[in-house]
């Protein structure tokens, strides 16, 4: 058998595998939406999502509203939400046998004033309209924060980090290892540290006062860093 013929046979087998795989994915793919009301007094929210985007927004007092938009092949994700001692815990996991596709995009409405500690492994993360202290992290996705929290710690490994704050914060720490970091907040005096290893830094409309009690740290490994005042 000649080399050319052997290569053609191998190429044909590989192509057939891809075609069959694509057909199976199309046939076996499933998706669905679940809505859940979680009752109970909530003062703290903890979320850990293995796969899927997460949005946490301001909701009604006295509980939480959770919408889960799920996609899977053969085996779907597990979405678990419980309240214990004032802490709402939400976990999204995918079984090891979930094969190619398994994810759940969450939309979570929580009361104002709650403390947040939320993390996505694979997926964008957005916090919108809340005013409690928050720690938010995405290993593989963009992080966006909008609201009036007194303190923010927002980080991403592979994504952009953006914070648009409507009131002067006490402490802010923003960090992206690879992408841009952007902070917009009311004008005033802050102790500002804006740093990028490979990109540029821009500070406009706010005053850098080293002894200010309000501390701002914005940094990136490879992206640009911008700290500006609200227009």
Provide the β-strand partners of residue 28.
Answer: none
List, for residues 121-143, the tens digit of each pLDDT value.
999 999 999 999 999 999 999 99
Q: Return the domain boundaries, the chain.
A: 31-123, 130-231
Q: What is the pLDDT of residue 4?
A: 58
List, for residues 76-125, the tens digit of each pLDDT value.
899 999 999 999 999 999 877 655 578 999 999 999 999 999 999 999 99
Closest CA to 80 of 36, 112, 142, 42: 36
The pTM of this model reads 0.86
pLDDT bracket for residue 5 (50, 70, 90): low
Q: Which residues contact 39 (CB under 8 A, 6 or more apart)?
A: 62, 63, 83
Provide the β-strand partners of residue 118.
Answer: 47, 136
Based on its alpha-carbon atoms, the radius of gyration of the chain, rounded to whole angstroms, reads 22
Paired sense of beta strands 181-185 and 189-196, if any: unpaired
CA 229/CA 231 separation, integer angstroms: 6
């Amino acid at each position: 058998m000649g080399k050319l013929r052997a290569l053609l046979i191998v190429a044909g087998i590989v192509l057939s595998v891809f075609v069959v795989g694509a057909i199976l994915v199309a046939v076996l793919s499933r998706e669905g939406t679940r809505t859940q009301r979680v009752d109970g007094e909530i003062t703290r929210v903890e979320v850990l999502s293995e796969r899927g985007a997460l949005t946490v927004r301001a909701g009604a007092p006295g509980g939480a509203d959770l919408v889960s938009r799920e996609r899977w092949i053969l085996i779907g994700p597990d979405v678990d939400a419980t309240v214990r001692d004032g802490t709402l815990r939400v976990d999204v996991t995918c079984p090891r046998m979930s094969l190619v596709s398994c994810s759940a995009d969450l939309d979570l409405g929580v009361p104002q004033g709650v403390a947040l500690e939320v993390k996505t492994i694979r997926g964008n993360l957005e916090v919108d309209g809340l005013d409690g202290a928050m720690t938010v992290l995405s290993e593989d996705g963009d992080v966006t924060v909008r609201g009036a929290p007194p303190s923010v710690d927002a980080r991403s490994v592979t994504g952009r980090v953006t914070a648009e704050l409507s009131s002067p914060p006490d402490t802010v720490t923003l960090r992206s290892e690879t992408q841009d970091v952007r902070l917009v907040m009311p004008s005033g005096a802050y102790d500002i540290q804006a740093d990028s290893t490979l990109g540029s830094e821009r500070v406009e409309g706010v005053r850098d006062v080293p002894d200010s009690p309000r501390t701002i740290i914005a940094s990136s490994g490879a992206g640009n860093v911008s700290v500006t005042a609200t227009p």
